[in-house]
Amino acid sequence: MKRLHVVVASTRPRRVGPAVGEWFAARAREHGGFDVHLVDLVDVALPLLDEPEEPSTGRYVHEHTRRWSASVEAADAFVFVAPEYNAAIAPSLLNALDCLYTEWFYKPVGFVAYGGSSAGLRAVQMTKQVVAALRMYPTVEQVPIHHVSEHLDEDGSFRPADHLPAAATAMLDELVRTADALAPLRHGRG
């Protein structure tokens, strides 16, 4: 079974990302198509890009970059649980993408985006421009969450609107299909 990393992309204090990520990871485990792992960028603790060499060389001098490289290398597919700041991608996610290179190649990515009226979709659209440079395959199927703060319980857990579980299933199905199809293109495995 292929490995899916559900990446909680926001790292700011008081973020809602973990609640949304936990909901989605549980949904993905129910789906059954992947070995599901929740990855929190707070735990990854990457500073802004501080490697002396280009990420395309794969030569990393810092332990934090090496750890992140090993994490991304191990995954076959990703779901980014993504907030939107100023109509754009969060710097924490952009930096996590930019710190590596070939580790991302030929892996599909889906988005669980959240925001107010925009449901984070402007951030997703911008992220698609970046992942395209990294030879990733962004799924058309996505899980956009409108007005996320209205869907948090008193204990802080996320309660999805009725249409979201079906959207999650469609995205997971497409991630399984595309991860299988693209795997032969990945270096050392083709």
Between CA 112 and CA 135 the distance in angstroms is 20
135 binds a copy of itself (CB under 8 A): no
73 binds a copy of itself (CB under 8 A): no
58 binds a copy of itself (CB under 8 A): no
**Which of 1, 26, 70, 132 is close enough to bind a copy of itself by CB under 8 A?**
132
Q: Considering beta carbons, is residue 54 or 153 the nearer one to a copy of itself?
A: 54
What does the DSSP assignment read for 24-58?
HHHHHHHH-SSEEEEEEHHHH-PPS---SS-GGG-
180 binds a copy of itself (CB under 8 A): no
| Smallest gap from residue 55 Cβ to a copy of itself (A) | 9
Q: Is residue 149 packed enough to be buried (19+ CB in 10 Å), middle (13-18) or exposed (0-12)?
A: exposed
| Smallest gap from residue 20 Cβ to a copy of itself (A) | 18
88 binds a copy of itself (CB under 8 A): yes
Helices in the chain by DSSP H: which ranges?
17-31, 41-44, 63-74, 91-98, 121-133, 164-182
φ, ψ of residue 127 in degrees (nearest 5): -65, -30
| Smallest gap from residue 54 Cβ to a copy of itself (A) | 9
**Which of 30, 32, 43, 129 is close enough to bind a copy of itself by CB under 8 A?**
129
- Coil vs helix vs strand at 7: strand
Q: Is residue 103 packed enough to be buried (19+ CB in 10 Å), middle (13-18) or exposed (0-12)?
A: buried
85 binds a copy of itself (CB under 8 A): yes
- Coil vs helix vs strand at 134: coil
| Smallest gap from residue 92 Cβ to a copy of itself (A) | 5
173 binds a copy of itself (CB under 8 A): no
150 binds a copy of itself (CB under 8 A): no
* Encoded tokens for 109: 């990515």
Q: Which residues of the chain form contacts with a copy of itself (CB under 8 A)?
A: 11-14, 47-52, 85-92, 94-95, 97-98, 122, 126, 129-130, 132-134
